[in-house]
Structure 1
């Protein structure tokens, strides 16, 4: 066996070694096939692309595809270093004090979240035990580019977060005294929607306004700045949740700080009599508030309607079919949602989309209702459109 094969065999053994955590990416998804030999960790393909941008911090090679020989560094030293470290040890060092409000990216999250997480860990070393104490962000003020409600242009707007008061304000004039909107942290959610917004730093902020969900679409040129805003909003939300639910442990509140949509995409829907023409709409399923929101366009400021999804125990059901005698317009893959108030009929652009929506609806319907849904027990609104 040659040196290269022997070295690769040793790396593969380290990858599967029990008690090291190496079988799961140190920064992202499962099944890591790459190694940062400067940090002593194993990472996935997506994270390797981020690490590659910071050669002063991390140097990466594929465990299976690259050659591991003396052309990189003294290979014996590398193998000893990788053996001494490993994912769990390095995570314990660099993630010793991650604040509860700080969002830790998941496998399917956008690049800016992953990039700033990796920079915060290894470059800025924000979470190490011997670093400076990290206090919640508190109040924050700055400028974000906000999409206009009517003209669809992104304009520079001043945003002010008052964490103690639980308010977010934004102003149309840089030095204006009267805010355009005052948003309660109680009703606020923030989620990165880079593809929908068409910007790698695109953030969607939602809140309730007169019974509707108001969408703000914003971005900042700096990835760090937009992620800092996101985590500042999360810190303010956690502070509110602790006051609203003092009997609950922090571990149960953290998943409620912000949430992503469980599923989004176009479907066609008909009206309450199922004789109205099918119309194409953009749908977004909010699993925490158990709401299916629908819009004419993905970047609309307000929804056209919303459907509250109770639990299966309350009689809410979803079926993979259309009612007898009902035919879709262009799309044939149908879904029928049954609620105590009425029956909703949708068609999907493909069978794949149909399966994904069906699984997502069943996921929500299978969850018991709790006070932490943070909703009034209401029914549908705007359903005839």
Structure 2
């Protein structure tokens, strides 16, 4: 074996040793177990999926396979001197309690913006960079799906923590909102497959004791994730007032939620003589709801 090959094998062996250190056994960004990639500029170990996102910011992060690529001694020394725990202490030092930190089961957009927010924009090192989602007020335009057709139209949205509501307007110069969604009942969940857009967000709220849905997206991934976290921030501050004795950890679990289960089932009509019809069912927070189709705006019935 040549001296160069021997040195490469030694470097890889040290990397495997570093993987056994506390904090390095899971991806630094999404928590997936068994990372097989690493950034030799940031000094973190990561999964294959997150390594692809890191490749999109090469000016900040350069990645290699731990087991397949050749490693230089200085690169290995950097990995040894940093590691996931130290990197988290630096890049996640001021993550707000309400900010959604994605896992390996979340959509690509959430994981991408989480990685960019940490390493590219340094949002959790400089608190002033969190203003787009922490200011308590947000105004802008989102593409919203029409209720009676599949066309998406630009609509003005306003989220006001002071008013305790999020609202949208059918016309840009309209004075009265088309819909007002109270922070008390609002939920938001990313649904890129269902909506047919990688930045698709489903917003659910209660009106007249009925569950309503709206489906929106923004062409800019950062913008829609900022809207999502702004909703979570407004919910967090509302719950702090509503439940003053609750801890932040308890409140965070109530900010937004994904559906426990979704899918089609066949159901009969209200009369026994009616045949089965295909309906979209969701299991959400101990409630079963069904809709005419996945993108229907109003729940047909809710069973607690």
TM over 0.5: yes
- Could you tell me which residue of structure 2 aligns to residue 298 of structure 1? 294
Output the CA distance in 2 between the equivalents of 1:159 and 1:272: 38
Unaligned runs of 5+ in 1: 70-74, 309-385
1:57 to 2:55 alignment: no
Aligned pairs for 1:260-339 (under 5 A) are 260-270=258-268, 277-287=275-285, 290-308=286-304
- Could you tell me which residue of structure 2 aligns to residue 204 of structure 1? 202
- Could you tell me which residue of structure 1 aligns to residue 152 of structure 2? 154
1:8 to 2:12 alignment: yes
Output the CA distance in 2 between the equivalents of 1:245 and 1:87: 35
Output the CA distance in 1 between the equivalents of 2:70 and 2:55: 17
CA deviation vs aligned residue, 1:152-206 (integer Å, no higher than 9, x gap): 2100000011111211110011111111011110010011001100000000001
Output the CA distance in 2 between the equivalents of 1:268 and 1:10: 57
- Structure 1 219/272 Cα, relative in aligned 2: closer, same or farther at 3 Å? same
Aligned pairs for 1:71-110 (under 5 A) are 75-110=72-107
Pairing partner for 1:23 from 1, 5, 25: 25
Number of matched residues? Answer: 297
Output the CA distance in 2 between the equivalents of 1:122 and 1:82: 16
The SS at the match of 2:253 is helix
Unaligned runs of 5+ in 2: none
Cα RMSD over matched residues? 1.7
- Structure 1 141/243 Cα, relative in aligned 2: closer, same or farther at 3 Å? same
Aligned pairs for 1:119-158 (under 5 A) are 119-128=116-125, 132=128, 134=130, 136-158=134-156
The SS at the match of 1:256 is coil
Which one has more relative contact order, counting CA pairs under 8 Å at least 6 apart?
2
CA deviation vs aligned residue, 1:76-127 (integer Å, no higher than 9, x gap): 1111100010000100100001001111011111111111111110011111
The SS at the match of 2:112 is helix
Output the CA distance in 2 between the equivalents of 1:270 and 1:169: 36
Shift of 1:276: 5.1
